[in-house]
Amino acid sequence: MFKRFNVFFIPMALMFLALSTFAQDSWIEQSSPSSSQVLKLQETSQTPAETLSYWDFESGWGNWWVDNGVWEVGHPTSSSPCSLSAHSGDSCAGTNLAGLYPNYSDTRLISPAVNLPSIGVGEELRLSFWHWFSFNRFQDLWGTWHVDSGQVEMQVYNYDSLFWGSWKKIGNTYKDYSVIWSKIEIEEVSSYAGKRVRFGFHLFGDSQGNSCGWYADDVTFHCLAPEITMLLSPPNHTTGPANDTFYWHSSFRATSYRIQIAYDSLFASLSYDLSNILDTTYYITELDTTIWWRVRGENVCDYGPWSNKWAYTDVEEPNDLQNNVPGDFALQQNYPNPFNPQTRIEYSLPKEGEVKIIIYNLLGQRVKTLIDEQQTAGHKEILWDGKGDNGTEVASGIYFYRIKAGDFIQSRKMVLMK
């Protein structure tokens, strides 16, 4: 009478593969993981993350609850073809740990309330979980397909009305079956930063007949740390003046930086340990020795990995070099060119005076004023990070940099290529 497509035919071989491949060591803590557990999470992710909340259901419900029944927490005991183990440990959440979910189920597994932190530009919050599902579908006499499905939803607490808001879908809709445990990362969580939220696993049953259902395990709210910072200058194992500026590339998701300068490669003896640096440069004075330096990006959520450590020898310039005043004004070609995201501009001043170096686009519009100040005579350099006066990155293209020092005026062309 009905054409049915029940997903009971999942091969047993695939089920055994799921059990053998995805068995994991148990995480015991219910909401505040230990440092070793956080380390384990970081080692299995491409980007380090601070775990804000974590649930593995090993200690039971842990303030989770259900509307309209069906969902359970514990050890799965279903027989074939729904037999499976938890993703890690012994327990997980599921729509029916001992069998099939009922016809026309409409049920939601709801998390405890979580206060998400406020985040800055480029910072990300994510909800991740492991899940396994097998949903039913059937075609009625009139040829209409009725498909069961699942989706994750979020709601926000309103402090004015003192009520929870309506449920809103985040992430994808899940249909048919997944065969094995798989990990899901939902990025839309960042739009809920700074709010009190809870989320739910919502199963919609729109068909006659039933199937194995939906299982969830190892659920986390986490915050993405900045990516690794790449050092730029001075290059590794070089020497230079005792007063020098350290440069590094901007790190994705970083809102500030921390630099460490040490007298040994293990950073056991620190000379400088400075944080909350908002730029990608820092000026150091009077070291006059061999040092090691490294930088990492930080944000409100977490901090990124340290950069590679570079060695640099600061030396006091001899008097004859200090007094080596250039005979003429000069503006050198920037290096590298083309560049991304930073380039170095060198110039020479035979005498003290007002100096302006300004970058223009092809339309002759000012993009960035690099220098507008009184400077002493000497060989100089400045770094441009590819940003305009408003602090935002400029587009790829051709740009001109122009120096005016007294009566000396010269321009050169450079190419930013992303």
Domain ranges of the chain: 3-224, 227-324, 325-418
With a cut of 60, say whether residue 55 has pLDDT above it: yes
Q: How far apart are CA 304 and CA 227, in angstroms?
A: 6
Q: Which of the two residues, 32 and 409, has the higher pLDDT score?
A: 409
Q: Which of the two residues, 2 and 167, has the higher pLDDT score?
A: 167
Angle at CA 319, nearest 5°, toward 315 and 324?
Answer: 105
Query: What is the percentage of the chain residues whose pLDDT exceeds 90?
Result: 44
Q: What is the mean pLDDT of residues 148-174?
A: 95
Confidence of residue 41 (pLDDT cuts 50, 70, 90): very low
Give the global pTM. 0.55
CATH 3.30.1360.120 holds for 325-418: no
Q: In 235-384, which ranges are E strands?
A: 238-241, 244-248, 256-262, 270-277, 281-284, 290-298, 310-315, 330-331, 343-349, 353-360, 366-375, 378-384
Q: What is the mean pLDDT of residues 394-403?
A: 93
Which residues pair with residue 411 across a beta bridge? 402
Confidence of residue 86 (pLDDT cuts 50, 70, 90): very high
> What does the block give as tokens for 245?
């500026």
CATH 2.60.120.380 holds for 3-224: no
- Candidate from 27-36, 170-179, 184-193, 371-380 with smallest mean pLDDT: 27-36
Domains 227-324 and 325-418 are alike in CATH topology: yes
Q: What is the CATH number of domain 227-324?
A: 2.60.40.10
pLDDT at position 50, please? 57
With a cut of 70, say whether residue 168 has pLDDT above it: yes
Long-range contacts of 410-414 (CB under 8 A, 24+ apart): 410/329, 410/331, 411/331, 412/331, 412/333, 412/334, 414/333, 414/334, 414/337, 414/338, 414/339, 414/343
Yes or no: say if 129 and 184 are a contact pair by the CB < 8 Å rule.
yes
Confidence of residue 79 (pLDDT cuts 50, 70, 90): confident
Q: How far apart are CA 404 and CA 371, in angstroms?
A: 10
Q: How far apart are CA 262 and CA 248, in angstroms?
A: 17
Q: Which of 88, 79, 303 is nearest to 183 (CA)?
A: 88
3-class SS of residue 176? coil
Residue holding tokens 């005026």?
409
